[in-house]
Amino acid sequence: MITHQFGIPVTSTGAILRRERDLGTPLGRETAEVLQSGGLVSDKIIIELIEDWLRLHGSHGFVFDGFPRTLPQAESLMSILARLRSALDLVVWLEVSEQTVVDRIAGRLQCGECGFTTSSSSAQFANRPVCPYCDGHLERRNDDDLGVLQTRLQEFRTKTEPLASYYEKISILHRIDGNRDREAVFSDISRLIEDTQ
């Protein structure tokens, strides 16, 4: 939605890794097991992916989804951006209850091509699982399983949650209630982006 409204290129490290896995590349084969288990891929691999992506696509702004997830990733991002004479304007922290996470994961359908995400409770997509943006196939993710979710939540609490205070200290973190529907959440995010422009 951000890309469509503001023309800012977006990338998701998770989506890159799933694509590599589906293509059967060496990187995809190396990381598939970690993705399936709900653990985090090594910082070294993730930082290389982001640096390559920024060099190719980052000159007109960027949105990262699912990155950074650890303090070393956040620190490396700062150094990469300083080298590229760029900077972070905004960090959006979507706050959701554990129940919301469980409900969304239980019904999540995702486009394998562009990452568009919806729910199997939406009749439009349950009957015809085709992406409205790129005609890709909407599918369940193989890590969207309640057992794997416990590992993902544990990784979040120990490695990702400390990033909130890291970004709060430099005053770029904004907390948004992500338990609401996507239009309400998007409207708050849009306002934040407009305020930085």
* Footprint of ligand AMP (CB under 6 A): 12-14, 17, 34-35, 38-41, 46, 66-69, 73, 143, 152
Closest-by-Cβ residue to ligand AMP is 14
How would you label 39-70 residue by residue, b for 16+ Cβ within 10 Å and e otherwise? bbbebeebbebbbebbeeebeebbbbeebbbb
Residue closer to ligand AMP, measured from CB, 34 or 193: 34
Q: In the bound complex, what is the minimum distance in angstroms from residue 115's beta carbon to ligand AMP?
A: 8
Alpha carbons within 13 A on the beta-carbon side of 76: 17
Give me 99's structure tokens.
């129940």
Q: What 3-state class would DSSP assign to 65?
A: strand
Residue closer to ligand AMP, measured from CB, 112 or 129: 112
Q: In the bound complex, what is the minimum distance in angstroms from residue 111's beta carbon to ligand AMP?
A: 12
Q: What 3-state class would DSSP assign to 81?
A: helix
Residue closer to ligand AMP, measured from CB, 104 or 194: 104
Q: Which residues contact 26 (CB under 8 A, 6 or more apart)?
A: none
Residue closer to ligand AMP, measured from CB, 35 or 111: 35
Residue closer to ligand AMP, measured from CB, 79 or 187: 79
Q: In the bound complex, what is the minimum distance in angstroms from residue 169's beta carbon to ligand AMP?
A: 20
Q: Which residues contact 176 (CB under 8 A, 6 or more apart)?
A: 92, 93, 94, 95, 185, 188, 189
Q: In the bound complex, what is the minimum distance in angstroms from residue 197's beta carbon to ligand AMP?
A: 26
Q: In the bound complex, what is the minimum distance in angstroms from residue 15's beta carbon to ligand AMP?
A: 6
